[in-house]
């Protein structure tokens, strides 16, 4: 059995769990049982084989994690144990090594992705939008996944800098850019989905849609990683 947790300190953890249940049902016949659980304590985290950090408010998530003694266990889970982790929106911010446009005094990050993220890149709450985005990595799983994904951007971050270069390479694997999206339909595309080793991140909120494809894809990656 694979145990997948969703960090339930703040944000859209219930929505993630709902789509994870649907994804687990689709995979059950091929991969056996998946146990899903909310995570609020280090003890609950220790029982997990993989974890989702949901969207919400990244500064609040960071503060509550610090107050509840979760920051260091989360860092160990991601960077030492290297268990599969997925962060959406605020969760992505926490999984980056650096962040810009933070509130005064900055914020604690978990890290794991060797990138710098720009918070609230697309604007404030009123500038939220839904946009079809091509996700080529989904097409590798099935011929039925070729339709664009309805990405929900709410005060969304984007990755604006990769922190290692050929002159100063990372000790970790390369950054895999999985999807880009232009801010205004012109100019340079923004990175809105990426992966490095065990860490996967999306700027948008798949959990706020009825589209289960990314959850199925990620859960499949987790199950495969556990079986190797």
Give the catalytic positions in this structure: 89, 205, 207
**Chain center to CA of 55:** 9
Distance CA 83, CA 80 (A): 8
> Tokens representing 179?
């999807």
Distance CA 139, CA 190 (A): 21
Q: Quickly list DSSP for 157-203.
A: -EEEEES--SSS--SSPPPEEEEEE-SSSSSSPEEEEEEETTEEEES
What element of type H or E holds 5? Answer: strand 2-7
Asked if residue 119 lies in contact with residue 93, where contact means CB atoms within 8 angstroms, the answer is yes
Asked if residue 204 lies in contact with residue 89, where contact means CB atoms within 8 angstroms, the answer is yes
């Amino acid at each position: 059995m694979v145990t997948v947790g969703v960090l339930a300190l703040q944000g859209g953890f219930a929505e993630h769990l709902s789509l994870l249940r649907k994804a687990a049902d689709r995979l059950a016949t091929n991969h056996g049982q998946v146990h899903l659980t909310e995570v609020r304590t280090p003890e609950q985290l220790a029982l997990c084989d993989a974890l989702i950090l949901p969207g919400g408010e990244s500064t609040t998530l960071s503060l509550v994690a610090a107050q509840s003694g979760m920051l260091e266990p989360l860092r160990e889970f991601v960077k030492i144990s290297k268990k599969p982790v997925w962060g959406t929106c605020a969760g992505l911010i926490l999984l980056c090594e650096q962040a810009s446009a933070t509130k005064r005094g900055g914020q604690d990050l978990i890290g794991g992705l060797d990138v710098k993220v720009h918070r609230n890149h697309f604007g404030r709450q009123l500038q939220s939008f839904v946009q079809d985005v091509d996700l080529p990595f989904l097409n590798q799983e099935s011929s039925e996944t070729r339709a664009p994904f309805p990405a929900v951007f709410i005060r969304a971050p984007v990755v604006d800098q990769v922190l290692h270069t050929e002159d100063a390479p990372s000790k970790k694997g390369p950054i895999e850019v999985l999807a880009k999206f232009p801010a205004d339909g012109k100019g340079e595309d923004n990175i809105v989905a990426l992966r490095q080793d065990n860490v996967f991140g999306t700027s948008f909120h798949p959990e706020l849609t009825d589209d289960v494809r990314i959850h199925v894809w990620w859960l499949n990656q987790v199950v495969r990683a556990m079986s190797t």
